[in-house]
Amino acid sequence: MNPHSRRRCALVCCVFIALFSAFSFRLIYLQVIKHDEYAGLAAEKHVYKQTIYAERGTILDANNEVLAHNVPVETVVGDATHLNNREAIVDLVGSELGIPTRQLAEKLNSERRYIVIKREVPESLATALRAKLLARNLRGIYFENDATRIYPNGSMLCHVIGFTDFEHRGIQGVEASMEEYLHGQDGYRYVEHNRVGQEIVPYRGQERAPRNGYQVHLTVDLNLQNIVENEIDAAMDEYRPKKATIILMRPQTGEILAMANRPKFDLNLRSEAKPEEMKNRAIIDMMEPGSTFKIVAAAAALNEHKLRPDSTIFCENGLWNFGGSALHDHRAFSYLSVRDILIKSSNIGAAKLALSVGEQKFYEYIRRFGFGERTGIELPGEINGVIRPPRSWSKISITRIPMGHEIGVTPLQMTVAMAAIANGGKLVMPRIVKSITSADGKAISSLSPVVLRQVTSPETARQIGDALRGVVSDRGTAAAAAVPGFTIAGKTGTAQKVNPNGGYEQGKYVVSFSGYLPAERPEFVGLVVLDDAQTSKPELNYGGLIAGPIFSRIAEKAARYLDLEPHEEIRKAIPIERVALTNASRH
């Protein structure tokens, strides 16, 4: 090769070397130096984080009966830029989903890429629509998986269970208070799409499985709840009160066995419910309790050893002027024992009981019974009630508060106070949540009874209990609350309704009865409250005559359901051969 050719050859080689070096440097620049930047841009375009939604937990009753759970539904959405045959799509989707064609056409007549056509479409309907769209090769309509909350029992226990919003967050009842446990934790997955939007499965990135919400088991027994719901409905029909509340509670543990309020609403049709219907009046309504509150005055006087159950008090023959104001009894009583003050429900007697311990001590007992503070039940929106301190009392307050005036308490507070008497003076925190478990039944949390304090000595509680047994007798104000075969202790209450503009409303009463059964070994405490019950005659508008019989019917059915053994009086009615069998079984 001559030198000229050799130079040319070298030149060509240099050009090629320069060219490939440039390519190499460019490649290194793109693939190494700019790697992160371009990888990020590519990921932004093709990779996205797909949320895997956690399933909301189920709510169950004490016997594992389902109260709230989820049903899969789909949300139908449209991408206006993908619609290939707008008219046909509008006709098909409109007719299938029951949306007026014109309305749907207006919705889709845009360039928006995400148009929600209908939410909560049942799975079967969505599947059918999907198949029809595919068969006719119509594009631009997509389906997103979703779930909606279903309450199989409709309005039963509606105020306790509560409900969720569109984002599946609890906004009332246990759904709200147990949100942390019910909600679960969403998972995610990084996925990469190809040009036509299909996932490239081998390129799946990091993934985290969702954790479904826990199951919440309530203390409520649906069988007892059913008894209560039937009776409250019957009471609504018979007396047409404005509001009503019934609570059943186990005094030893504080477990709420049943809780019903009226007015009510259907949990599955919650969008149609009025605000008034959604209130859980057992914890957010304040009432003047009336004579049921006399147990506090009596307990204070007995526990402080100011008086004994058989100590007599002069009840001023039905009219007592104190602090420049007259205090009446419904009947003229002369001398009554402390026991009889409760049995006969003497206002003057109760006032004198409170006076015997003094303002400050009486106030302390009111607070010790749990009035004026939240009970701590696992339900949202509970109120404190209103108990003013003695420095804000008028001269006559000490005589009015013992008969349940000048204070505001919730029905639940009243039930808890009665439960303290039934429970030997121990005040127990009411509970509505029994336990929390995972979906496979593993225990996450189990709530045990919480004894808040010893309000009175067991002896005082027994003495009050004895007096309350007399209330449900021929001598007392609540003979109609008796249940054949069982001893019942209880107290009636008839409080004139407070006028929001001041004073009291004439002829309007809040009637109540609070009691427990069996009196000697209480299995449950119950409270019945009817606000502004309508009676044929005004003299029939008393707690003992209205709320007492309702309690009696509930207690009788509940005792049978709980298989409580009646006493001897009932056994007398049992045929001889049955008694023989019962006795024989002892040996």
Partner 1 sequence: MKRSHRKNRNPVNAASLARWIVVTAFLALAGLSYVYLTLQLYHLGERKKSVENELSSLRTQNDVASVQIAALTSRSALQRRLKEGYLKMIPISERDIVRLTVPARQADENVIQPVVNEPATR
Check binding of 323 to partner 1 (CB under 8 A): no
Residue 176 · residue 432 · CB < 8 Å = no
Residues 111-130 that bind partner 1 (CB under 8 A): 123-124
Check binding of 206 to partner 1 (CB under 8 A): no
| Amino acid in the structure at residue 315 | C
| Amino acid in the structure at residue 272 | E
Torsion of CA 359, 360, 365, 366, to 10 degrees: 70
Check binding of 201 to partner 1 (CB under 8 A): yes
Tell the smallest beta-carbon distance from residue 282 to partner 1 (Å). Answer: 20
Check binding of 158 to partner 1 (CB under 8 A): no
Closest to partner 1 by CB, 152 vs 323, is 152
Closest to partner 1 by CB, 141 vs 227, is 227
Nearby residues of 356 by Cβ (< 8 Å), 6 or more positions away? 301, 304, 306, 307
The binding track of 517-556 with respect to partner 1, each residue x by CB under 8 A or -, is ----------------------------------------
What sign results for the dihedral spanned by CA atoms 457, 461, 462, 463?
positive
Nearby residues of 160 by Cβ (< 8 Å), 6 or more positions away? 173, 174, 218, 220, 256, 259, 280, 379, 432
Of 10, 19, 28, 200, the one binding partner 1 by CB under 8 A: 200
Pairing of strands 59-60, 115-122: unpaired
Of 7, 112, 521, 578, the one binding partner 1 by CB under 8 A: 578
Check binding of 80 to partner 1 (CB under 8 A): no
Check binding of 587 to partner 1 (CB under 8 A): yes
Tokens encoding 122: 């049942």
Of 226, 311, 454, 496, the one binding partner 1 by CB under 8 A: 226
**How distant, in Å, are the alpha carbons of 122, 232, 296, 365, 444 from that of 357?**
65, 38, 11, 10, 47
Tell the smallest beta-carbon distance from residue 422 to partner 1 (Å). Answer: 23
| Burial class of residue 87 in the structure, from the number of CB atoms within 10 Å of its CB (0-12 exposed, 13-18 middle, 19+ buried) | exposed
Q: How many residues bind partner 1 (CB under 8 A)?
A: 34
3-state SS, residue 61? coil
| Amino acid in the structure at residue 360 | Q
Of 144, 165, 207, 565, the one binding partner 1 by CB under 8 A: 565
Helix ranges (DSSP H) in 450-566: 458-471, 543-561
Closest to partner 1 by CB, 143 vs 322, is 143
Residue 334 · residue 376 · CB < 8 Å = no
Part of the chain binding partner 1 (CB under 8 A), chosen from 37-45, 195-203, 330-338, 343-351: 195-203
- Spatial CA neighbour of 430 closest among 356, 355, 524, 553: 524
Tokens encoding 77: 């959405």
Closest to partner 1 by CB, 10 vs 71, is 71
Closest to partner 1 by CB, 13 vs 581, is 581
**How distant, in Å, are the alpha carbons of 41, 145, 197 from that of 189?**
19, 16, 16
Of 154, 389, 449, 458, the one binding partner 1 by CB under 8 A: 154
What does the alpha-carbon distance between residue 420 and residue 464 come to, in Å, rounded to a whole number?
11
Closest to partner 1 by CB, 18 vs 580, is 580
Of 40, 72, 389, 507, the one binding partner 1 by CB under 8 A: 72
Tell the smallest beta-carbon distance from residue 73 to partner 1 (Å). Answer: 9
Tell the smallest beta-carbon distance from residue 200 to partner 1 (Å). Answer: 7
Of 46, 50, 54, 65, the one binding partner 1 by CB under 8 A: 65
3-state SS, residue 128? helix
Of 47, 56, 70, 354, the one binding partner 1 by CB under 8 A: 70
- Spatial CA neighbour of 525 closest among 224, 216, 158: 224
Closest to partner 1 by CB, 205 vs 381, is 205
What does the alpha-carbon distance between residue 160 and residue 181 come to, in Å, rounded to a whole number?
16
Part of the chain binding partner 1 (CB under 8 A), chosen from 19-27, 308-316, 340-348, 561-569: 561-569
- Spatial CA neighbour of 491 closest among 509, 464, 518, 510: 464
Tell the smallest beta-carbon distance from residue 427 to partner 1 (Å). Answer: 31
Q: Which residue has tokens 């999907």?
A: 130
Encode 352-377: b = buried (16+ Cβ within 10 Å), e = exposed.
bbbbbbebebbbebbebbbbbebbeb
Tell the smallest beta-carbon distance from residue 94 to partner 1 (Å). Answer: 25
Closest to partner 1 by CB, 215 vs 456, is 215
Of 9, 11, 19, 570, the one binding partner 1 by CB under 8 A: 570
Of 26, 82, 84, 152, the one binding partner 1 by CB under 8 A: 152
- Give the relative orientation of helices 359-368 and 294-303 as an angle to the nearest 10 degrees: 110
Tell the smallest beta-carbon distance from residue 53 to partner 1 (Å). Answer: 12
Part of the chain binding partner 1 (CB under 8 A), chosen from 25-33, 437-445, 472-480, 567-575: 567-575
Check binding of 153 to partner 1 (CB under 8 A): yes
The binding track of 436-475 with respect to partner 1, each residue x by CB under 8 A or -, is ----------------------------------------
Beta strand segments in 271-345, E: 312-314, 319-322, 325-328, 335-337
Nearby residues of 177 by Cβ (< 8 Å), 6 or more positions away? 162, 170, 378, 379, 380, 433
What does the alpha-carbon distance between residue 263 and residue 275 come to, in Å, rounded to a whole number?
10
Instruction: Supply φ then ψ for residue 150, to 5 degrees.
Output: -120, 140
Of 222, 342, 447, 545, the one binding partner 1 by CB under 8 A: 222
Tell the smallest beta-carbon distance from residue 176 to partner 1 (Å). Answer: 22
Rg for the chain (alpha carbons), in Å?
35
Residue 307 · residue 324 · CB < 8 Å = no
Of 17, 22, 41, 574, the one binding partner 1 by CB under 8 A: 574
Tell the smallest beta-carbon distance from residue 89 to partner 1 (Å). Answer: 24
Residues that bind partner 1 (CB under 8 A): 65-66, 69-72, 123-124, 145, 150, 152-154, 156, 199-202, 222, 226, 485, 563, 565-566, 570, 573-575, 578, 581-582, 585-587
